Amino acid sequence: MALISQSRRLRRTPFSDGVEAAGVKGYTVYNRMLLPTVFRSVVEDYHHLKNAVQVWDVAVERQVELRGPDASRLMQMLTPRDLRSMQLGQCYYVPIVDETGGMINDPVALKLAEDRWWISIADSDLLLWVKGLAYGYRLDVLVDEPDVSPLAVQGPKADDLMAAVFGDAVRNIKFFRFGWFDFQGTSMAIARSGYSKQGGFEIYVDGFDNGMPLWNALMEAGKDMDVFAGCPNLIERIEGGLLSYGNDMTRNNTPHEAGLGKFCSTQTAIGCVGRDALLRVAKEGPTQQIRPISIDGDIPACDRVWPLMAGKKKVGQVTSAAASPDFDTGVAIGMVKMTHWDEGTALTVHTPDGVREATVIEKFWI
């Protein structure tokens, strides 16, 4: 593929200088911002992520901030997950749906105060939908994108690296909780979360100018921990069943089709704009759903949907795929019709490089 030309519309991040100095080899575009995809190689990055510790520029996880008396009401309008029992300092993975129950994002929500939320978004212009709702319903709330950029620290040595920079108290942060920690005079939210199954943290870096000093402090403190720049790893995130909005599910899918029914409590999510639509589909259950798929043979780059076939009949599509070194098979995420979604179902996948044998399996690899 030719190079992508840079411009003001394709935003750099507070950490882009560090990413470049580390020798980034590939980018994608996410929320109109640069997201690294490869440093040494996808396979080398994968092994390093599972054995050491990486610092990830995930500034593309932009925040939609809700601030004001109606912030909690607006937050509940966005999601079928019941937020009433959510505590300050908690993070929730929340499907966001439109009035038809179609998914428009799958962010992590942080409850900062009763009247203040951050929505850490996946790749869609959620800000515009939220501002539209706030204006249309005349809500008493400010909706904006703050100058906050997540930096993830992921891998088995993440606790040690974070403790070296922020002190031992970071070790006590529980999964999907956050606390406030000082870095050079600025207070920042640090959560135990991240887009990998290897464990770690996300630092919500407050202020663009604090980006490189923090990046450098982590790299310096991690010298004897084999720290290196990293990024969400295609292979590891498929093994872990971490979904990619826009790839694995879109506005044409309900959360139930995406396998996110466990994050919906639609019956009690009063005020969710997609509630009526979702109550209808939840009663019958979805007729297609995301499944882990193992694929035999070599796996080409998955830059489009691949038809999943049962003989001559199309029964779904593969939306993410990669060769897994640790599991010695092709690992994939697919959307499969209910007639063929049972564990063990043998199918074929039509890749641009040819037909491959595939099997619907019981659960993701990690």
Binding residues for ligand THG (CB under 6 A): 61, 93, 106-108, 120-122, 150, 176, 193-195, 202, 242-243
Nearer to ligand THG, 240 or 297 (CB): 240
Task: Tell me the DSSP string of 2-67.
Answer: PPPPP-TTSB--TTHHHHHHTT--EEEEETTEEEEEESS-HHHHHHHHHHSEEEEE-TTS-EEEEE
Nearer to ligand THG, 46 or 204 (CB): 204
Name the minimum Å distance from CB 6 to ligand THG.
Answer: 23
Name the minimum Å distance from CB 218 to ligand THG.
Answer: 17
Name the minimum Å distance from CB 5 to ligand THG.
Answer: 25
Nearer to ligand THG, 63 or 345 (CB): 63
The token pair at 260 is: 């996110």
Name the minimum Å distance from CB 110 to ligand THG.
Answer: 8
Whole-number Cα distances in Å, 204 to 105, 161, 280: 19, 16, 37
The answer to whether residues 33 and 149 touch, using CB atoms and an 8 Å cutoff, is no
Nearer to ligand THG, 96 or 164 (CB): 96
CA distance 47 to 61: 24
Nearer to ligand THG, 122 or 295 (CB): 122
Name the minimum Å distance from CB 245 to ligand THG.
Answer: 7
Question: Which residues are paired to 66 by β-bridges?
Answer: 117, 143
Nearer to ligand THG, 121 or 269 (CB): 121
The token pair at 357 is: 């044998």
The token pair at 12 is: 């750099």
Name the minimum Å distance from CB 223 to ligand THG.
Answer: 26
CA distance 222 to 219: 5
